[in-house]
Amino acid sequence: IGVVHRRWHLWRRLYDLYLGNKQFAVVENPGLWNWTFTLKDIDGEVLAQVDRDWRGFGFEILTDAGQYVIRFGGSDPSSKIGLANAIQDLDVRRPLTLAERAVAVALAISLDNDYFS
């Protein structure tokens, strides 16, 4: 479907996301302690966001279980029920296609493997 390439940097986390030979997004995380990874297009506009949620000191230290949230942008407000009403919508330039969303999920798996496992 697509490819996620990691670029080396001493303290920043840099990724390029491709569909075939065409790059559709880049992730330039500003530092080691930032757990929010924003996918941006070639113009620097937000497409999606991958967050690693903090679940508490004891849980994070004593287990190897991580919880990730991938935010693809706004949704129909009437479709939100329960706790989903409390989640703020992400303003995105355009919605991602299904293939682009699959590459974003692969990015989340790669992030967990590279930095948090």
Q: What is the DSSP string of 86-110?
A: GSPPPP-SSPPPHHHHHHHHHHHHH
Is the confidence at residue 39, as pLDDT, over 60? yes
State the average pLDDT for the chain.
77
Task: Look at residues 100, 53, 107, 112 and name the one whose alpha carbon lies nearest to residue 73.
Answer: 100
In this structure, of 11-15, 45-49, 66-70, 111-115, the range with the lowest mean pLDDT score is 111-115
State yes or no: pLDDT of 60 exceeds 60: no
Mean pLDDT of 65-78: 69
Which pLDDT belongs to residue 55?
62
| pTM (predicted TM-score) | 0.74
